[in-house]
């Protein structure tokens, strides 16, 4: 997954510090994140510029993407991190299995467990 972001520092805090992904590689204008030792699952970059406004909800493009977690404990850990930052809401339909959240750039992510 390649994501254009407006601020790499905010992306680092969210994807590494809150979601718990590993920062695997840094490159000028880009950070790469992974679960485990894989090269990367998510790449973020500012190659289109910094401090750019997110696309409007009416824009064509990706509505959201999902991150699958291995168990309930990991989902609860992430939910606690998101609550501490005041950025989490449980999805009312599947509250015991998923969290719907926006990253600092307004990109919607469904974090879920099987």
CATH, residue 18: 3.10.180.10
Whether 103 is in a domain gets the answer yes
pTM listed for this prediction: 0.85
Range of the structural domain that residue 8 is part of = 2-47+64-113
Phi, psi of 33 (to 5 degrees): -125, 150
| pLDDT tens for each residue of the chain, 114 residues long | 899 999 999 999 999 999 999 999 999 999 999 998 888 899 999 998 888 887 777 888 888 899 999 898 998 888 888 888 877 654 433 467 888 888 988 888 999 998
Q: Does the residue 53 lie in any domain?
A: no
Q: Kind and range of the H or E element at 12?
A: helix 8-12
Domains in the chain, number: 1
Is 81 part of a structural domain of the chain?
Answer: yes
- Residue 59 DSSP label: S
């Amino acid at each position: 997954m390649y994501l254009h972001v407006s601020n790499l520092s905010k992306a680092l805090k969210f994807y590494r510090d809150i979601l718990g992904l590993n920062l695997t590689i840094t490159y000028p204008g880009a950070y790469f994140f992974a679960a485990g030792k894989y090269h990367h699952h998510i790449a973020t970059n500012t190659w289109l510029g910094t401090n750019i406004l997110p696309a409007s909800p009416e824009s064509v493009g990706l509505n959201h993407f999902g991150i699958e977690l291995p168990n309930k404990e990991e989902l609860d850990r992430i939910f606690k991190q998101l609550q501490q930052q005041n950025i989490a809401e449980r999805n009312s339909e599947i509250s015991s299995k998923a969290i719907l959240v926006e990253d600092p750039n307004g990109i919607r992510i469904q974090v879920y467990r099987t």
